[in-house]
A = this chain, B = another copy of it.
């Protein structure tokens, strides 16, 4: 479950045909599994594990194998069309590449909030100047506790 916590001037929403045309231009063949994968990623509008994508795709084409999905996600990631992030202890989450953003994942309810990259700016800046380290703030989520769960916990302990 992903809550989009930020309104920003959104890029033109990717379309299935647009993404596929892009793939064709990169010399990648357009196959049924790929078409369905792109479709699921667009419709998801959020993060999906390989397994979740498989379920959606297999509803339309039962033969598409999980390994094909993994292979295609890797391929699309190599091409810069897709990214994955680690939002917690379990499986990786995949989503179409868009405007850079970070992730806050609640340990308690599992929800992930997307936040604008600029929240990470001070951290990124200091890591660079003090440690020479260039942070990629997208790949691993910051984990913690969301407001609702914190509130619920506070009530419980009263």
Contacts and interface: CB of A to CB of B under 8 A. Distances in A.
A143 B136 contact: yes
Contacts of A143: 135-136, 139-140
A137 B150 CA distance: 16
Interface of A: 5, 86, 89, 104, 106-107, 113, 115, 119-120, 122-123, 126-127, 130-137, 139-148, 150
13 contacts: A5-B131, A86-B86, A86-B89, A104-B135, A107-B136, A115-B130, A132-B150, A134-B144, A134-B145, A134-B146, A134-B150, A140-B141, A140-B142
Copies of this chain, complex-wide, total 2
A118 B144 CA distance: 16
